Amino acid sequence: MKFLIVGLGNIGDEYVDTRHNIGFIAVDALALSFKATFEPGRYASIARISVKGRQLVVIKPTTYMNLSGKAVRYWMQKEDIPKENILVIVDDLALPIGTLRLRAKGSDGGHNGLISIIETIGTTEFARLRIGIGNDFAKGYQIDYVLGRWTKEEEKTLLPRIETTVELIKSFALIGVERTMNFFNTKGK
């Protein structure tokens, strides 16, 4: 059984460790926990992980956030992975820092990466994990905040949540989105 795990972010040194790249941070932690490495691939860097017989195709799109759908569609088709076995990990301004919210489907919530994926694969019927990045910015400074780097205080909150995210991803592949939601959405505060 194959799963497509998609961490959203932007490529380039200027985006490393920024709030908007929390998806990259999460899948990097997943790969590290399995001693897997990302290799260059079409439209994405890719790592392959095996979890108790489940094959995880883990990607970090290299298309920039607004074109993430190209990478998702390509790897879905290449690996023959159904939409039910896709998990997309994104940042969310509406959630406090470190809050985890897993959903089996839903809207784009105004997130450019999700907008691209929904438009490109033609459905909202895929799981997404939203990781809260907070919204501590003055009016008109949303872009600066989202593309800003984590403070030391935020990192202290975030690091244990990234460890939880790794466990959530494994759970998604092993027991499915519904049971994973029941467990992690209550504990994921």
Span between the terminal Cα atoms of the chain, in Å: 30
How confident is the model at residue 135, as a pLDDT?
83
Q: What is the pLDDT of residues 130-149, one digit of tens each?
A: 999 888 787 887 888 888 88
Output the pLDDT for position 141: 76
Average pLDDT over every residue of 93-106 = 92
Cα distance between residue 109 and residue 133, in whole Å: 14
Please tell me the class of the 2-187 domain.
Answer: alpha beta
How does the average pLDDT of the chain come out, rounded? 92
Neighbours of 156 (CB within 10 A): 12
For 102-132, what is each residue's pLDDT tens digit? 999 999 988 999 999 999 999 999 999 999 9
Edge-to-edge, what's the strand order for the sheet holding 2-7? 39-41, 44-51, 54-61, 2-7, 86-92, 127-132, 100-103
Can you read off the two tokens belonging to residue 64?
């920039």
Q: Kindly list the catalytic residues.
A: 20
Q: Which residues contact 78 (CB under 8 A, 6 or more apart)?
A: 42
- Nearest 5°: the CA angle 155, 158, 162 is 130
Closest CA to 178 of 89, 84, 51: 84
pLDDT tens track for 164-178: 999 999 999 999 999
Dihedral (CA of 140, 131, 116, 149) sign = positive
Q: Take residue 116 and report the two structure tokens written for it.
A: 């691209």
The first and second tokens of residue 82, run together, are: 């159904």
Is the confidence at residue 189, as pLDDT, over 60? no
pLDDT at 188 over 60: no
